[in-house]
A and B are shown apart, each in its own frame.
Chain A
Amino acid sequence: MHEMSIALEVARLVEEQMSSHPGRLLRVGIEIGDDAGVEPDNLAFCLEAVLAYPPFSGATPVLARVAGDVLRLDFLEVDDDRPDD
């Protein structure tokens, strides 16, 4: 089940991003290609498990199916509690 390895790599990438965008993580957007060799429900399950713990507590994975073999961390949604720019 390589989806857990992928979920852990997503967590590493998210943590990297969060270091320059501090705040409370709300949603993690992932794009999964139809030919990426990844089972979306399985990845969602693994992501939910990984995101249940600090520093990601409570964040929701948002998976989008796309064409091709894309497998990408698309976006993060963060509540940074700062006034709008």
Chain B
Amino acid sequence: MTVRTIEVRERIMARNDELAAEVRRRLDAAGVTAFNMVSSPGSGKTLLLERTLEALGEELDIAVVTGDVQTQNDADRLARRTSRLVQAVVTGGACHLDASQVMAALDAIDLAQTRLFFVENVGNLVCPASWDLGELAKIVVFSVTEGEDKPLKYPKMFRMAKYAVLNKIDLLPHLDFDLEQAMSYALQVNPGLHFFLTSARTGQGLDDWFHFLRQQVRAAVPA
């Protein structure tokens, strides 16, 4: 018996990150702005995207890919708000999307006719934080029906996100949720986090969100 130790020293996420870089190259070349929408289940990601498609779908040539463990319900909901194909990735048990799934989805999207691209990730505040999908930024949606301390409980997700949408603010009068405390916890984890306060249901705060999206699309120039 001759035992040999082989030093490998290889990053386990390297392959995903290479694919994500390729996704990013394709999106940059086409001048497409891409956001990876992440959250716990039930935060209102789909309704926020429905409202966004209704208001800006045509104006900003929005394409969407949804990820769910089972069902295409979210993709079906979004498809009713746009004339474009909404791609559904059913992960069949996996708790996140990876870059290879987004790469495959891109093949069915006419990038020349797309300026804004959303990935609605699987509802989960843990796993999607570890997977780069080639997006410009992760946007974490955090609803006021959750605990204020979500950012402290799931720091990696809030650290990896560049923007946070605090959603369902129409419910604040009925809840004990401390908005300032929640924002303070989020900033503790990620001092650079930029917030949007929205109610996708009533439309409150959506103008700021739409303005931000228009700005981001305007800033993107095909490489």
Contacts and interface: CB of A to CB of B under 8 A. Distances in A.
Nearest to A25: B6
Interface stretch (B49-57, B124-132, B167-175, B205-213): B124-132
Contact count band on B = 20 to 34
Given A2-B96, A35-B156, A77 B127 contact: no
A83 B8 CA distance: 22
A72 B5 CA distance: 16
Interface string A1-44: 11011100110110001000101001000100001111000000
Interface stretch (B10-18, B74-82, B190-198): B10-18
Contacts of A10: 12
Given A2-B126, A77-B5, A83-B2, A71 B11 contact: yes
Interface in A41-85: 71-84
B58 to A, nearest CB: 36
A23 B4 contact: yes
B1 A81 contact: yes
B33 to A, nearest CB: 26
A12 B12 CA distance: 10
A9 B6 contact: no
A9 B10 CA distance: 11
Given A1-B95, A1-B127, A72 B6 contact: no
Contacts of A38: 130
Nearest to A39: B126
A81 B130 contact: no
Given A1-B95, A2-B96, A2-B130, A76 B13 contact: no
A46 to B, nearest CB: 12
Given A1-B127, A2-B96, A84 B8 contact: no
26 contacts: A1-B95, A2-B126, A2-B127, A12-B15, A13-B8, A17-B8, A30-B12, A35-B156, A37-B126, A37-B129, A37-B156, A38-B130, A71-B11, A71-B12, A73-B9, A73-B10, A73-B11, A75-B5, A75-B7, A75-B8, A77-B4, A78-B6, A79-B3, A79-B4, A81-B2, A83-B2
Interface of B: 1-13, 15-16, 94-96, 98, 126-127, 129-131, 156
